[in-house]
Amino acid sequence: MLSLMRFAHLINVEFFDDLLVVLHSLIESGVLFALPLEAVTYLISVCCHFKGDVLNIDPMKFYTHLYKTLFKLHAGATNEGVEIVLQCLDVMLTKRRKQVSQQRALAFIKRLCTLALHVLPNSSIGILATNRILMHTFPKTDLLLDNESQGSGVFLPELEEPEYCNAQNTALWELHALRRHYHPIVQRFAAHLIAGAPSEGSEALKPELSRR
């Protein structure tokens, strides 16, 4: 796996379909969960190099695996792991925004907010900064700031498929808890997101924070 991570950009496209089949089988067997961060790093290499343009693949299994992997991060894990995951999210959600459905974006934003409650403050800041970018990238996700249901069904937080967890029927209550966080920058980011992540006004971030 480490070799694949390092040399993914050198693999001939003709062999990549077979490689993806093997990777999918490893995901389904659960083998990759023993190496979650390495697996995520490999996905970054795949997406950065090919970006879904060269290969005709359905990356849904990769998104599902990443969605599952998020809750493997916690306050006892290293911040390096959080950084890798956030880099992967940038590639798979922000840079591929035209291929990402609103349901998928809603599910990841919700799960990231929940994750921000379970990690160290500097990781929480990185996660909230990522959510800020996602809310700007997918403007309709601001419905998560409303406590009214937006559709049929009930939010299923335990479901491992981001497309089908009904994230539109939940709210980002975690932000209100984070607004009372002991770390002042976490508090500031949470208040900023609750206000809809404005670019100006009293709830806008200072320039040094908005560049995080």
Q: What is the pLDDT of residues 18-63, one digit of tens each?
A: 766 776 676 666 555 555 555 555 555 555 445 445 555 557 777 8
Token pair 């003709």 in the structure block, residue: 14
Which pLDDT score is estimated for 51? 46
Sorting pLDDT into bands at 50, 70 and 90, what band is 71? confident
What 3-state DSSP class applies to 65?
helix
Identify which of 49, 45, 93, 48 has the alpha carbon closest to the alpha carbon of residue 67: 93
Determine the longest span between alpha carbons in the chain, in angstroms.
Answer: 54
> Average model confidence (pLDDT) for the chain?
80
Identify which of 62, 186, 39 has the alpha carbon closest to the alpha carbon of residue 113: 186
Full domain range(s) for residue 24: 1-210
Identify which of 60, 74, 63, 14 has the alpha carbon closest to the alpha carbon of residue 39: 63
Rounded CA separation 24/32 (Å): 10
Which pLDDT score is estimated for 22? 73
- When computed from its CA atoms, the radius of gyration of the chain, rounded to whole angstroms, is 17
Angle at CA of residue 84, ends 172 and 86, nearest 5°? 30
* Residues above pLDDT 70, as percent of the chain: 69
Which pLDDT score is estimated for 75? 74
The backbone region for 196, taken as left when phi is positive above 0, alpha when psi lies in -120 to 50, beta otherwise, is left
Q: How confident is the model over 75-92, as a mean pLDDT?
A: 78
Higher pLDDT among residues 113 and 58, named by residue: 113
Q: Phi and psi (nearest 5°) for 211?
A: -90, 0
Which pLDDT score is estimated for 150? 60
**Cβ-based burial of 82 (10 A; exposed 0-12, middle 13-18, buried ≥19):** buried
Q: How far is CA 1 from the centre of its chain?
A: 22
Which pLDDT score is estimated for 136? 95
Please name the residues in contact with 116: beta carbons below 8 A apart, sequence gap of 6 or more. Answer: 123, 124, 127, 128, 131, 174, 178, 186
Cα separation values, 125 from 13, 63, 119, 129, Å: 38, 23, 10, 6
Q: How confident is the model over 83-88, as a mean pLDDT?
A: 83
Answer whether residue 134 shows pLDDT above 50: yes
| Count of domains forming the chain | 1
